[in-house]
Amino acid sequence: MSQRVSDEAAKKAMGEIISGASSRRHGDSLPNIHKVGSPPKQTLLQEIKHSVVETFFPDKPLHKFKGQSPFRVFLLCLQSLFPIFEWGRDYNLKKFRGDFISGLTIASLCIPQDIAYAKLANLEPQYALYTSFVAPLVYAFMGSSRDIAIGPVAVVSLLLGTTLSDEISDFKSHDYLRLAFTATFFAGVTQMALGVLRLGFLIDFLSHAAIVGFMAGAAITIALQQLKGLFGIKDFTKKTDIVSVMRSVFKSAHHGWNWETLVIGLAFLAFLLVTKYIAKKNKKLFWVAAISPMISVIVSTFFVFITRADKKGVAIVRHVKQGVNPASANEIFFSGKYLGAGIRIGVIAGMVALTEAVAIGRTFAAMKDYALDGNKEMMAMGAMNIAGSLTSCYVATGSFSRSAVNYMAGCKTAVSNIVMSMVLLLTLLLITPLFKYTPNAVLASIIIAAVLGLVNIEAIILLWKIDKFDFVACIGALLGVVFKSVEIGLLIAVAISFAKILLQVTRPRTAVLGKLPGTTVYRNVLQYPKATQINGMLIVRVDSAIYFSNSNYIKESILRWLSGEEAQRVKSGLSRIEYVTVEMSPVIDIDTSGIHAFEELFKSLQKRKVQLILANPGPIVIEKLCASKLTDLIGEDKIFLTVADAVSTFGPKGEGEV
């Protein structure tokens, strides 16, 4: 026998609805039908507070300061700002041994890479070396990653080179250098502001698919740019798109290529690729690939020096300024016509650098199973770039190739960055004159070998298999970079990422549910073909929160399901649909537009002599339904805890499955 709770009791429960019960319907055995509970009512201030806390302070950063003495609070603040004071207490000689080896290894990799990357940014080689001296030192004290290796990277260097040269075409002018420092300063300010204001969630709006495509496109563009150094071409286009670059290469084929340069470049490119292949096949031989760029520089420099190949047209570095970083605080544009450009370029470069660093940091943190504090990373990145802009550096971030080598070499903490920084200091003080005869072709081959790993073919294929929209986002970003520019590619990546969000919000999925045989479980009939629908009832699940942006679409979608199913059932000789049950467990929230849409849905169903039933509304949803009196309109006896309860109450007796 079923038992009904009186209307008076239902009103006292404020939306805690008790639905009628039937002990045996469709083979279901439901001795207890539970009521839908309404949560304690929150004030507007409490709701705002909860939203702010979950958005900006989900990690509860102030929790550890409660009940502490003033001195202890000071120490905790110091540790929060400089994590080195926290993990440094447990530092020992064994850890230093691993960090020392790692630091030396990544230093041997970063020196030739830095000299090459400086050319991408259209800067003198010493500025990249300055960057690898200052930035890692700052990061080691403030960063939370144990594995990330800091310095100039190919993508950011290319981005700076293209955006800066758009403003000042003569990259040998002093204003170009000043604009580079200005962009670096504002990149740091942007990163620091994101950390201080705890706005790190903003970088999550750039999807993984868009990043994969952007990085692949940037890698192809960077590799194409190196054809100038690899072929020894003097008259080369300043544009970065593939059409302009290839036209420039083939245009100079008859008279502009230098065969000595080509032989040097291709020989060392083959050597670098072979060492990378060896390291990939045998992880223990990672050091072979790590030291191969330095070996290439040493051997090629010696070869050019003894043969004087530079007199036969082989382009060389010629000069790397010796000494430590000069101050550059007075070089930054804080006014004048280049201030706006410096801010714009800095914001773009800062966001790209931050996205790359956080992605790399999260990857290695997951591999070693430790927490990476995103806000601390932003603070560290911002501080090191601000400090760098004041000491003749340009934008630095985490390097994937160096971080991978750092990880494989057995680094334990960020001290490996300090070791690398000290090696760079010695290089600046003692070794830089030795790079005079280094051929540009070898630097080009080092860059090409380094960026090939950014073209992740496997990830792109996986995107196609998993999500076609993600694949489109990836390819769109890739083609935008390759055929237009780095900025356009980045814009496409961001635009497609936002388009995906908007599409998912405005066009959520709805599904018709059926009962799995022998259970009281109701699932999507497309996913489970054996699931049977209930005669006289349509069960629809809404897989999204219901807001102003999608409420009308959801209402129309439910009505379309009803029309289609009703026509099909009548054609099959089954009884007409008398009840539409909306399964609301995925609906985490509903706004006034959503409630209005349900009111319209209720009225539309009434005209068709169909009853509306709601199943399993969440706490926020049921609270808003009660507050809007929609529960009174629908009827409190038509709101259930589960679909099975609704079917047990209003479904036909006996075997009523379709």
The mean pLDDT of 50-75, rounded to a whole number, is 73
Contact 30, 648 (CB under 8 A): yes
Residue 323 in tokens? 């000494």
Question: pLDDT tens, 609-618?
Answer: 999 999 999 8
Contact 554, 510 (CB under 8 A): yes
Cα dist from 394 to 32, 104, 222, 330, 344, whole Å: 68, 23, 18, 15, 15
d(CA 634, CA 598): 9
Contact 215, 457 (CB under 8 A): no
Out of 43-52, 152-161, 188-197, 207-216, least confident range = 43-52
The mean pLDDT of 64-77, rounded to a whole number, is 80
Length of the chain, please?
A: 658
Residue 621 pLDDT level (bands cut at 50, 70, 90): very high
The mean pLDDT of 68-91, rounded to a whole number, is 85
Residue 12 pLDDT level (bands cut at 50, 70, 90): very low
Domain 508-650 architecture: 2-Layer Sandwich (3.30)
Side chain identity, residue 266? L
d(CA 605, CA 582): 12
Among candidate residues 149, 152, 132, the one with its CA nearest the CA of residue 423: 132
Q: How much is the pLDDT for 58?
A: 66
Q: How much is the pLDDT for 78?
A: 86
Residue 55 in tokens? 């958005």
**Entry pTM:** 0.77
Provide the residue ranges of all domains of the chain, joining segments of one domain with +. Answer: 101-318+327-454, 508-650
Q: What is the dihedral of CA 8, 9, 11, 16, to 10 degrees?
A: -160
Q: How much is the pLDDT for 5?
A: 35
The mean pLDDT of 400-411, rounded to a whole number, is 88
Question: pLDDT tens, 331-351?
Answer: 999 998 999 999 999 999 999
Residue 460 in tokens? 């792109």
The mean pLDDT of 319-324, rounded to a whole number, is 90
Residue with tokens 């379709």: 658
Residue 57 pLDDT level (bands cut at 50, 70, 90): low
Q: Residue 8 above 50 pLDDT?
A: no
Q: How much is the pLDDT for 20?
A: 39
Instruction: Supply angle C-alpha 277, 279, 283, rounded to 5.
Output: 135
Mean pLDDT of the chain: 86
Question: pLDDT tens, 630-650?
Answer: 999 998 889 999 999 999 998
Q: What is the dihedral of CA 493, 496, 498, 502, to 10 degrees?
A: -170
Q: How much is the pLDDT for 39?
A: 66
Q: Residue 4 above 70 pLDDT?
A: no
Q: How much is the pLDDT for 184?
A: 97
% residues pLDDT > 90 (the chain): 49
Residue 306 in tokens? 């003894």
Question: pLDDT tens, 37-56?
Answer: 666 676 667 667 766 766 66
Q: Residue 425 above 60 pLDDT?
A: yes
Residue 501 in tokens? 């969000």
Q: How much is the pLDDT for 484?
A: 87
Cα dist from 57 to 49, 63, 373, whole Å: 11, 10, 12
Q: How much is the pLDDT for 654?
A: 46
d(CA 146, CA 143): 8
Q: How much is the pLDDT for 294?
A: 92
3-state secondary structure of 26: coil
Q: Residue 9 above 50 pLDDT?
A: no
Q: How much is the pLDDT for 363?
A: 81
